[in-house]
């Protein structure tokens, strides 16, 4: 089975790299973007199985992007909002934007990985026979 493709946008290079590394280590194929233009380019090039959006970005709020992806583009991939916002605010924004789920950055990488696994499933990592 081919690895699930995840598209991730965050304006923080540090968070983007850490999240990409954790997801790839878990066996997912990850494309990243720091700008809306790069995100759209990646989304068109290779349709993702899951999209992870940072909420607070300079060009657009992630929940507004989720609403646009769902409404104007009919994006079928599940969308996860990732943010340092308080849980109640993040949950509200996820519901209003049509996002599938949300995770606070404070919850850490294990929470994000668990949410991704719950949505798109575990990956088949290659293990040596034996």
The domain spans of the chain are 5-118
The pLDDT of residue 128 is 37
pLDDT per position as a tens digit, 33-44: 999 999 999 999
The pLDDT of residue 130 is 34
pLDDT per position as a tens digit, 59-83: 999 999 999 999 999 999 999 999 9
Residue 116 has pLDDT above 70, yes or no: yes
Average pLDDT, the chain: 91
User: In residues, how long is the chain?
Assistant: 130
Q: Tell me what the mean pLDDT of segment 49-58 comes to.
A: 95
CATH class of the domain at 5-118 = alpha beta
* Site of tokens 């599938």: 100
The pLDDT of residue 127 is 37
Residue 22 has pLDDT above 90, yes or no: yes
């Amino acid at each position: 089975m081919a690895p699930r493709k995840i598209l991730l946008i965050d304006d923080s290079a540090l968070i983007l790299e850490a999240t990409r590394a954790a997801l790839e280590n878990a066996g997912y194929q990850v494309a990243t973007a720091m700008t809306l233009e790069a995100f759209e380019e990646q989304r068109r090039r290779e349709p993702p199985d899951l999209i992870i959006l940072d909420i607070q970005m300079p060009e657009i709020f992630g929940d507004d992007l989720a609403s646009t992806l769902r409404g104007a583009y009919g994006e079928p991939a599940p969308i996860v909002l990732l943010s340092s916002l308080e849980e109640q605010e993040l949950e509200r924004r996820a519901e209003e934007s049509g996002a599938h789920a949300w995770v606070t950055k404070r919850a850490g990488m294990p929470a994000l990985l668990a949410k991704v696994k719950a949505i798109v499933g575990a990956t088949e990592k290659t293990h040596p026979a034996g």
